Amino acid sequence: MTTQPFEIDRIDRKILMALQTDASLSQRALAETVGLSQNACWRRLQRLQSEGVLRGERAEVDLARLGLDLVVIVMIKTPHHSKDWAIAFKDHVSRIPGVVDLYRIGGEWDYLVKVVTQGIRGYDRFYQQLVDGFDLSVVTGHFVMEEMIAARPVQLV
């Protein structure tokens, strides 16, 4: 995956905004939405996919309806900052059930983990697995009371 910016035009922006809002749109509906023929829209989609701008499709699942009713933002400080340690930590965290996001961040904290789990016992299971075998200076969980804005489409300028 490249980090080089990819130039898009007004039509590409319309396509990407429409798909961020509803990725289940048929090609025909998407083409109508952005004002293209179905073939022209398909070619643009293929280009955006091949360039790595579009990466897959996802369904939005109401996790609370499935009993996964606790979201925790976990902030972590560690005395270790080598690339090898970070890779090992990423591998470790990726194997823990309930982890949906992991970020290495700048500032006062080193890592941010978003966890979705079933209640406080589920969080405790996550916590026990997280600290097992890793030297972490500080781990603190911030319990989400209300999801106010989530998965919001990014405005493409």
> Residue 5 has what pLDDT?
87
Nearest Cα to 63, choosing from 151, 130, 136, 137?
151
Closest of 33, 53, 31, 50 to residue 42, by C-alpha: 31
In the numeric block, which tokens belong to residue 28?
A: 């025909």
pLDDT reported for residue 2: 61
One-character DSSP codes across 14-68: HHHHHHHH-TT--HHHHHHHHT--HHHHHHHHHHHHHTTSS--------GGGGT-
Averaged over successive runs of 10 residues, the pLDDT of the chain (157 residues) comes to: 81 96 95 97 96 90 95 98 97 98 98 98 98 96 96 89
Exposed e or buried b per residue across 41-59, where buried means at least 16 C-beta atoms within 10 angstroms of its C-beta = beebbeebeeeeebeeeee
Q: What is the pLDDT of residue 43?
A: 97
pTM: 0.87
